[in-house]
Structure 1
Amino acid sequence: MKNDLNNQYLFQNLQENRMSFDQVFEHIVKFMQSQPCSNFRLMVGTDSQVHQTHTIFITGVVIFNEGNGVWACIRKVMIPRRMLHLHERISNELSLSEEVVSLFTKERKNQLIDIVLPYLYQGATFTMEGHIDIGAGKKNKTSEFVNEMVARMEAMGVEPKIKPNAFVASSYANRYTK
């Protein structure tokens, strides 16, 4: 079962295609182990784009070492219809982010925390964030969904970020939806 589930999630970046989640996780571990006394932010976010005959969803997974680089990849999902209702699209974006966040099981999160744990007193940190492509501004069409989407991300034990701080969804993933 584990391998079947793992294989339905295929990720890619500029260096590699068709990465399993296990491979993605190994990249994150190696990235963190290379400089364990650092400030790491693991961020997951999804954006979408409606095209002529389909809607593309891109989920970005980014491990950011503040001031010392980044490793990132994406997962692409295509729905064979135009999703024109904003709430449906935003909800699907969040569901896809939640799916990827759920792959970071308690054991996997603990494995990442264990990398920085010996360096906490030297200032090392690890946080996990869910980037949601919505904004709270009065002129933002998605503002009415903020409470609902933020609550969903918090329920997963992940720190929610909305625009302008949700750059994995609104910038990184967005680039690949076109």
Structure 2
Amino acid sequence: METEQENCFVFQNLQETAMSFDDVFSKIISFMRLDPRSTFRLMVGTDSQVHPDKTLFITGIVIQREGKGAWACIKKMSLKRKMHSLHERISYETALTEEVVSLFTNEKKIQLADIVLPFIYSGASFVMEGHLDIGAGKRNKTREYVQEMVARIQSAGFEPVIKPDAFVASSYANKYTK
């Protein structure tokens, strides 16, 4: 049964539009069941782009079967103003990622883990990552926000990943912000 929070989200990908979170979760379950002996990474990340009349945020969800493909979708959110403050934008991106991560309740996390559990001794695994569009490099303007945003994703129960490895935020979601 969908909660009110889950109903307010609309996801899409190249094949489908107007997917609810329950639809997305079902797709993830089906994808994992195709080959439960695999190494899976469930990744959620958000990127943004300031446009002349708005700031567009894209949150991506990717379930990757390492070396054997992936299934992905996005959620768009538009703010009707230019968000110029880097800290505000990074914080908002992290909040949107946290919002989607929160839809993966403990019950849903257990359902996903249970798919691979019978096969962990033969190499199957499952991790959940929150991809942040920030980097710790000396030349990266977002480096001063790394500790704050990483702590937020950790507290949500996902493993934080930053640039250059945060490809769901910095590459997948990014291509839909243009």
Question: TM-score scaled to structure 2, two decimals?
Answer: 0.98
State the one-letter code of the partner of 1:24: V
Aligned ranges 1:25-104 → 2 under 5 Å:
25-104=25-104
After the TM superposition, which parts of structure 1 deviate over 3 Å for at least 4 consecutive aligned residues? Answer: 1-4
Tell me the equivalent position of 1:12. Answer: 12
Alpha-carbon contact 2:131-2:167 (below 8 Å) kept = yes
State the one-letter code of the partner of 2:56: I
Cα shift readout 1:25-50 (whole Å, capped 9, x = no counterpart): 00000000000000000000000000
* Alpha-carbon distance in structure 1 between the residues aligned to 2:137 and 2:91: 19
Cα shift readout 1:59-115 (whole Å, capped 9, x = no counterpart): 000000001100000000000000000000000000000000000000000000000
* Alpha-carbon distance in structure 1 between the residues aligned to 2:41 and 2:68: 12
1:156: how far off? 1.1
Question: TM-score scaled to structure 1, two decimals?
Answer: 0.98
Q: How many residues align?
A: 178
* Alpha-carbon distance in structure 2 between the residues aligned to 1:51 and 1:92: 16
Tell me the equivalent position of 2:177. Answer: 177
Aligned ranges 1:100-139 → 2 under 5 Å:
100-139=100-139
Cα shift readout 1:118-174 (whole Å, capped 9, x = no counterpart): 001110000000000000011100000000000111111110000000000000000
Q: Structure 2: which 5+ runs fail to align? A: none
- Give the superposed CA RMSD: 1.0
Tell me the equivalent position of 1:151. Answer: 151
* Alpha-carbon distance in structure 2 between the residues aligned to 1:10 and 1:87: 26
Alpha-carbon contact 2:134-2:162 (below 8 Å) kept = yes
Percent identity between matched residues is 65
Q: In 2 relative to 1, CA 65–28 (structure 1 residues): closer, same or farther, beyond 3 Å?
A: same
After alignment, is 151-160 or 72-81 more displaced? Answer: 151-160
Alpha-carbon contact 2:2-2:22 (below 8 Å) kept = no
State the one-letter code of the partner of 1:149: M
Q: Structure 1: which 5+ runs fail to align? A: none
